Structure 1
Amino acid sequence: MEASEVKKMGYECFATYPKSLLNKGTGFLTDYTHSLNPYSGCSFGCTYCYVRQMPVSLFHKKEWGTWVNIKQEAAALLRKELARAKAKGPVTIFMSSSTDPYQPVEYSEQVTRSLLTVIAEDPPDFLLVQTRSPLVRRDIDLLQELKDRVRVSMTVETDLEEIKRAFTPNAPPIAARLKTLELLAAADIPTQATIAPVLPSSEAFAHKLRAVADRVCIDDFFMGDGSGGKRTKKLGISSLYEKLGLPEWYDPSAYQLVYDRLTEVFAPGQVLVSQKGFAP
């Protein structure tokens, strides 16, 4: 892999030159024809991220969260690949499956915005933008061009900042994510709040989400890590729950508590579970 190394914001960045960007949708993403990752690696470095156990991370041999590959000349490559894919039939894209398209490096590099520009010029049948970053609001202009062909899925795993700090200390503040959902909805951009994975939260969580979203997707380690929870188990996440004195939240039944709270305040059909909630 050709790469040049630089230091940025406490993590290492590498310029890479991929031969392709659109990957076939498989496994958890079989509802999509393709996945699209503007970067590989993610400086948010969430403790529970299943990508830590995937080849893209293991091959790099550096701690997950300490490096990011910045894909060069991505827009030109996507323009060609998207045209070819659309010539063969319907195209649905999940962006992104193994990185956050709006992680901090996107502020300067704007790879995601360049790809979104291409997508707005030649829209696929559907695009799901999966992120936990308020930076997505920067691209409201491009998202509006896609109208009902796009949905922004904003991860909000908990409403408790102390829990966020324990599990995802480098992730954006919860309040900023909720505000972003509000701004996107005001701009008529389809959105959903995504509780993935389920983390300990308060009884008020459902009401906070209902104030800014009319659709929620809920997922947990056992349904959503692609291995029935085995990848997450290897990360030793259970010990963090023990340390916090919340072992009951690391259990396949924990999501049911949050689900029941959600269905009390959301209308029927507005709360979706796991793979169904991410589908086009």
Structure 2
Amino acid sequence: MNVEIGEKYPKTLLNKGTGFLADYSHSLNPYTGCSFGCSYCYVRQMPVSLFRSQEWGTWVDIKKEAANLLRKELSRAKAKGKVTIFMSSSTDPYQPVEFKEQVTRALLEVMVEDPPDFLFVQTRSPLVTRDIDWLQRLGERVRVSMTVETDLEDIRRAFSPMAPPIQARLKALEQLKEAGVPAQATIAPLLPSSEAFPRLLAPLVDRVCVDDYFMGDGSGGKRTRSLGISKRYEELGLQEWYHPEAYKIVLERMRRIFSDDQLYVSQNGFAP
């Protein structure tokens, strides 16, 4: 798929943490738009997507001069109190364009120079391992959250064909663990998976977050329903997985391997 790359010069980078991210003082998005274009992405139903003529996943805007702007904003924010940052809420900070543009890496460099109290890095991309050097320097002030919605590659392809393969994400978690970078596996949004899923994750992480459309899309599942995702489940004959109680299937499987203090559900798993 061809992705249209644009540029913008934002006036602000740090946005107030609200709603699902109310546990954070700020959210931070290095890009506008996301070329992974996952079919279930709740951002499709947010203004950033709805006010754009192109389909979500076909365009990305690079935020120019982002590091310089963050340097100023971070200093001002820290002068007012505790700063906790969620990166990112409406884009993947390590989508393909980051390989060349390195906006996220530049932002990390700023945060190493002048660390926030906590940084949460949400991604589904193995490219995050490129920045292990900066992440290590943040120590316990950072946590990488690697989205692993399922352990089944055919399911991944059915819902998010442009996203990185599951095996590559598991390998990234392994590398983060070896480097001593705090990380978790985030099963969000939860997709159909196998009983072997917990055993795949066990050697890689000691923290797992389980979330679904109904708890995690910020609207009780309304945004996701408007996307017609239920039809995808019907086509695959997996209707039982599109249900507010389906997350309990995976949670119970995880409990056979992980202890209760290693398992988090929805918003609690994303908190600082």
| TM-score over 0.5 (shorter chain) | yes
> 2:28 aligned with 1:42, yes or no?
no
Give the equivalent residue in structure 1 for 2:217: 225
Give the equivalent residue in structure 2 for 1:4: none
Correspondent of 2:76 among 51, 70, 84:
84
Deviations 1:120-159 (A, max 9, x none): 1100000000000000000000000000000000000000
- Take 1:210 and 1:233, find their aligned partners in 2: how far apart are those partners? 32
What's the offset of the Cα at 1:60? 1.4
What's the offset of the Cα at 1:59? 1.2
> 2:254 aligned with 1:268, yes or no?
no
Q: Which aligned pairs between 1:1-280 and structure 2 lie closer than 5 A?
A: 10-280=2-272
Aligned residues: 272
What's the offset of the Cα at 1:268? 2.3
- Take 2:20 and 2:233, find their aligned partners in 1: how far apart are those partners? 26
Partner SS state of residue 119, structure 2 = strand
Identity %: 72
Report the residue type matching 1:134 in the other structure: P
What's the offset of the Cα at 1:254? 0.5
- Take 2:206 and 2:178, find their aligned partners in 1: how far apart are those partners? 12
What's the offset of the Cα at 1:194? 0.1
User: Where do 5+ consecutive residues of structure 1 fail to align?
Assistant: 1-8
Deviations 1:159-183 (A, max 9, x none): 0000000000000010110011011
- Take 1:148 and 1:141, find their aligned partners in 2: how far apart are those partners? 14
Partner SS state of residue 45, structure 1 = coil
What's the offset of the Cα at 1:10? 1.5
User: Where do 5+ consecutive residues of structure 2 fail to align?
Assistant: none
Report the residue type matching 1:254 in the other structure: A
Deviations 1:201-233 (A, max 9, x none): 000001101121110000000000000000000
- Take 2:261 and 2:4, find their aligned partners in 1: how far apart are those partners? 43
Report the residue type matching 1:40 in the other structure: T
Q: What TM-score does the superposition give when structure 1 sets the normalisation length? A: 0.96
- Take 2:49 and 2:155, find their aligned partners in 1: how far apart are those partners? 25
- Take 1:174 and 1:152, find their aligned partners in 2: how far apart are those partners? 16
- Take 2:118 and 2:109, find their aligned partners in 1: how far apart are those partners? 15
Runs of 4+ in 1 over 6 A off after TM superposition: none
